[in-house]
């Protein structure tokens, strides 16, 4: 009985030692990983900062103003003034949706390419 | 040690005589000895147990205290900067909408370790090619000086320059990581931000420290390791700031002014939405402080905060407000304005003759010096000082820039009755545009004191009640009438009714008199006039309007049109809907 007890104790000590050894190495590994992650976080944070700084630099008011001036012919952007505010009365009441009445339906086959030349260009539409 | 014998002869003999068993004596003594041994052993064991318990207890306490300490401290994120004592981390500064105004950027510094250098002469020559401002012979002399082992060459390198230095291939030239302060918007809000530079330098990092403006004022907050990731939200609005700068720059150029400044402030929260001072500078390359000439002419000088000037008639608003608050006059009271008003050797004149008498309202609308002097005469010096002090005009106006505490108003050494009269129309006492804005804000928000602030606020300030809401409302109406009928007629803008007061002050010539042709033109305005939300102060230094047949210098021709253009552009950006003038008039009639 006593021998069995001794044996059990010895075995459990060995098992515990093995567990502690493994745990120790896992901890070290985790710490290494954490260090690597911290370095990665630091570099990503730095990259993010650079992106943010660059974004802010590209969006600086002076540059935007120059871009607006350069592209005035296309965009026709002007500074907002009081005249740009509308009143609720200026918004047209939505028209009732016209009921679709299909008259003289024609079945069409083929792709849009086949229609080229038969329809007016989109710009010509009023 | 003397031991008691187990069989003492005397006792044994005596026992034998009396026929007793002497063994009993021995046994008795043996028992006593055993008992003594046992007691000693127990005492020792007890001491040991106690010591052991004490050791365990202290170990537990140490562990517990350490755990409590760990639990109570703020967690820190590990990063490259923390390994050295010098931390280069610094929080970003953003505007009220989160747009970056100042941020840190990783860069590199260049240094040399002379012991590891292979060819110092070639390295110096090549460096001279990359950096044209380097003195090559001097650098070479320093490279070869045996007393030097370590030399800083550049604090900041661009990536191109770094690559070029790499290509020299000199093992003694090394790079140290640096954080650089970057202001992506260039000159925008330069006076608010100030600038930054390097403090303590190590090889691996260097402190980034603020040198002026908000950067210096918030030094601790920006470098606090627990708040480095939290950007500092200023009250500024970058879009508004850019617009104000653009318009003010145009106005300054057109009117040939030396300098110009504008302060736009929320009347309820005290938030400074925009603060511009021209000429300005680039905080990325902050110029050195001037060594000669007037410091006030330097681009570093913040005219809005440090520029305490005699602002002239804009101060009449406070005189009239005090008169109405004291109950000595109402807006309809008639004031004798026959001039000149003589006081000892001194004569007070008006810009032109306004006839024998004017109502208090017209004194403000037409800006009569004699009128305000007469309003203040019965009130006296003490009450005037008290009134201006409560508005904060006698002390430096606080603001979260490092320069604010250094400038202070100039006040008369002896506050005589004459001072009372001249101060009533803005001469004899200096005020900064910022302080003026804060004063007008108090009148515009219903009479409560507001302290200007650069930090984004959550709600309105509830300050001391300086004047009654009735007085404040009367002043708002009179400021509105000044624009509609009086000296500030150029401030009439479609959609945004403005109330305001002009001021054209002759600049002091430094010899106790005033310059004839140098004027400081100021326009202090509130908008929308009937329900003020913002106060705008525009000051131009020596502007001249040369579009007419003769040069015009008064604020009505210079500061007012500039201010009007700012209001026209900025009000929609602030989310104000345009209203008709009749709506404003109706609001005044509804709530006089």
> Residue A120 has what pLDDT?
52
What residues 15-74 of chain A have any CB closer than 8 A to a CB of chain B? 35, 38-39, 41-42, 45-46, 49-50, 52-53, 55-57, 59-62, 65
* Count of all residues that appear for chain A in the document: 126
Could you read off the pLDDT of B246-297 as tens digits, one per residue?
999 999 999 989 899 999 999 999 999 999 998 899 998 888 888 777 777 8
- Tell me the ipTM for this assembly: 0.70
- Nearest by CB to residue B186, choosing from A55, A62, A80, is A62
Of B539, B32, B518, B498, nearest in space to B260 by CA: B539
Could you read off the pLDDT of B532-556 as tens digits, one per residue?
999 999 999 988 888 878 888 888 8
Q: Report yes or no: B553 and B545 within 8 Å, Cβ to Cβ.
A: yes
Residue-wise burial string across B237-256, b where 16 or more C-beta atoms lie within 10 A, e elsewhere: bbbbbbbbbbbbbebbebbe
* Phi, psi dihedral angles at B72 (to 5 degrees): -85, -20
| B10: in domain | no
> Residue B54 has what pLDDT?
97
- Nearest by CB to residue A84, choosing from B188, B239, B572, is B572
> Residue B38 has what pLDDT?
95
Contact with chain B for residue A111, Cβ under 8 A: no
pLDDT at B453 over 90: yes
Q: Which residues of A touch B569 (CB under 8 A)?
A: 79, 81
Q: Which residues contact B488 (CB under 8 A, 6 or more apart)?
A: B482, B498, B500, B501, B502, B523, B525, B555, B556, B560
Residue in chain A lying closest to B242 (CA): A61
Could you read off the pLDDT of B229-260 as tens digits, one per residue?
889 999 999 999 999 999 999 999 999 898 99
**pLDDT grade for A114, boundaries at 50, 70 and 90:** low
**B2-6, B59-63, B569-573: lowest mean pLDDT where?**
B2-6
> Residue B76 has what pLDDT?
64
| B166: in domain | no
B103–A49 C-beta distance less than 8 A = yes
Q: What is the pTM of this model?
A: 0.76
What number of other Cβ atoms are within 10 A of residue B428's Cβ? 19
Q: Where in the sequence is the domain holding B564, given as residue range(s)?
A: 240-590
| B471: in domain | yes
Question: How far is the first Cα of chain B from the last one, in angstroms, to the nearest whole number?
Answer: 112
Could you check whether the bond before residue B528 is cis, i.e. omega within 30 degrees of 0? yes
B246–A65 C-beta distance less than 8 A = yes
| B141: in domain | no
Q: Distance (Å, rounded) from C-alpha B444 to C-alpha B447?
A: 7
A82–B568 C-beta distance less than 8 A = yes
| B453: in domain | yes
B571–A82 C-beta distance less than 8 A = yes
| B351: in domain | yes
CATH number, residue B480: 3.40.710.10
> Residue A43 has what pLDDT?
87
Contact with chain B for residue A87, Cβ under 8 A: no
The C-alpha of B130 sits at a distance from chain A's nearest C-alpha, in angstroms, of 25
Q: Distance (Å, rounded) from C-alpha B315 to C-alpha B429?
A: 10
pLDDT at B122 over 50: yes
B496–A60 C-beta distance less than 8 A = no
Could you read off the pLDDT of B347-378 as tens digits, one per residue?
888 887 888 888 888 888 888 888 898 898 88
> Residue B125 has what pLDDT?
87
Q: What tokens appear for B399 in the block?
A: 């603001």
Could you read off the pLDDT of A51-61 as tens digits, one per residue?
888 899 999 99
B185–A61 C-beta distance less than 8 A = yes
How many distinct structural domains can be found in chain B? Answer: 1
Q: Which residues of A touch B77 (CB under 8 A)?
A: 38, 41
């Amino acid at each position: 009985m006593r021998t069995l007890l001794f044996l059990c104790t010895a075995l459990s000590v060995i098992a515990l030692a093995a567990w502690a050894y493994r745990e120790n190495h896992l901890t070290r590994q985790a710490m290494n990983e954490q260090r690597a992650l911290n370095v990665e976080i630091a570099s990503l944070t730095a990259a993010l900062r650079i992106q943010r700084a660059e974004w802010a630099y590209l969006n600086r008011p002076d540059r935007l103003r120059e871009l607006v001036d350069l592209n005035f012919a296309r965009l026709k952007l002007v500074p907002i003034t009081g005249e740009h505010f509308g009143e609720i009365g200026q918004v047209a009441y939505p028209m009732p949706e016209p009921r679709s009445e299909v008259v003289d339906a024609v079945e069409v086959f083929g792709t849009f390419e086949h229609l080229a030349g038969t329809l007016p260009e989109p710009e010509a539409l009023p | 040690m003397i031991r008691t014998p187990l069989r003492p002869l005397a006792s044994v003999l005596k026992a034998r005589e009396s026929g007793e068993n002497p063994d009993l004596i021995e046994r008795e003594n043996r028992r006593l000895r055993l008992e003594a041994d046992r007691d000693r052993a127990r005492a020792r064991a007890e001491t040991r147990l106690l010591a052991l318990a004490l050791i365990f207890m202290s170990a537990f306490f140490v562990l517990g205290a350490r755990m409590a300490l760990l639990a109570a401290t703020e967690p820190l994120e590990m990063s490259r900067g923390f390994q050295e004592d010098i931390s280069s981390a610094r929080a970003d500064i953003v505007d009220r909408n989160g747009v970056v105004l100042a941020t840190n950027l990783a860069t590199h510094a260049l240094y040399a370790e002379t012991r590891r250098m292979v060819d110092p002469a070639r390295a110096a020559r090549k460096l001279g090619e990359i950096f044209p401002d380097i003195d090559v012979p001097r650098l070479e002399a320093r490279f070869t000086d045996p007393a030097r082992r370590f030399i800083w060459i550049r604090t900041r390198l661009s990536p191109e320059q770094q690559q070029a230095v790499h290509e020299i291939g000199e093992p003694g030239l090394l790079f140290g990581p640096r954080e650089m302060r970057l202001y992506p918007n260039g000159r925008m809000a330069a006076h608010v931000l100030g600038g930054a530079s390097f403090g303590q330098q190590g090889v691996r990092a260097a402190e980034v420290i603020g040198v002026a403006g908000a950067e210096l004022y918030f030094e601790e907050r920006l470098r606090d390791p627990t708040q480095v990731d939290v950007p500092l939200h200023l009250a500024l609005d970058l879009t508004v700031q850019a617009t104000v700068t653009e318009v003010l720059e145009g106005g300054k150029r057109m009117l040939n002014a030396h300098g110009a400044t504008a302060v736009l402030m929320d009347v309820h929260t005290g938030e400074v939405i925009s603060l511009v001072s021209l000429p300005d500078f680039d905080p990325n390359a902050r110029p050195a402080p001037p060594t000669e000439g007037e410091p006030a002419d330097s681009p570093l000088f913040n005219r809005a905060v440090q520029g305490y000037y005699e602002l002239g008639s804009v101060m009449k608003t406070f005189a009239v407000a005090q008169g109405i608050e004291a109950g000595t006059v109402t807006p309809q009271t008639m004031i004798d304005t026959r001039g000149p008003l003589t006081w000892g050797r001194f004569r007070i004149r008006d810009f032109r003759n306004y006839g024998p008498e004017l109502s208090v309202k017209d004194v403000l609308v037409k800006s009569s010096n004699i009128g305000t002097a007469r309003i203040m005469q019965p009130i006296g010096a003490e009450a005037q000082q008290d009134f201006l002090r409560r508005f904060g005009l006698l002390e430096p106006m606080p603001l979260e820039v490092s320069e604010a505490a250094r400038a202070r108003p100039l006040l008369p050494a002896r506050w005589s009755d004459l001072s009372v009269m001249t101060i009533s129309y803005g001469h004899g006492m200096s005020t900064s545009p910022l302080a003026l804005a804060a004063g007008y804000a108090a009148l515009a928000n219903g009479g409560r004191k507001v302290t200007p602030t650069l930090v984004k606020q959550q709600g309105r300030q509830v300050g001391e009640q300086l004047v009654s809401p009735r007085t404040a409302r009367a002043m708002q109406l009179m400021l509105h009438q000044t624009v509609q009928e009086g000296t500030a007629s150029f401030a009439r803008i479609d959609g945004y009714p403005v109330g305001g007061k002009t001021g054209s002050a002759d600049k002091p010539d430094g010899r106790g008199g005033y310059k004839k042709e140098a004027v400081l033109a100021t326009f202090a305005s509130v908008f929308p006039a009937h329900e003020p939300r913002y106060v705008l102060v525009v000051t131009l230094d020596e502007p001249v309007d040369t579009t007419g047949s003769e040069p015009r210098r008064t604020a009505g021709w210079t500061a007012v049109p500039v201010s009007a253009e700012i209001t026209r552009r900025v009000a929609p950006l602030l989310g104000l809907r345009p209203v008709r003038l009749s709506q404003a008039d109706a609001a005044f009639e509804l709530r006089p």
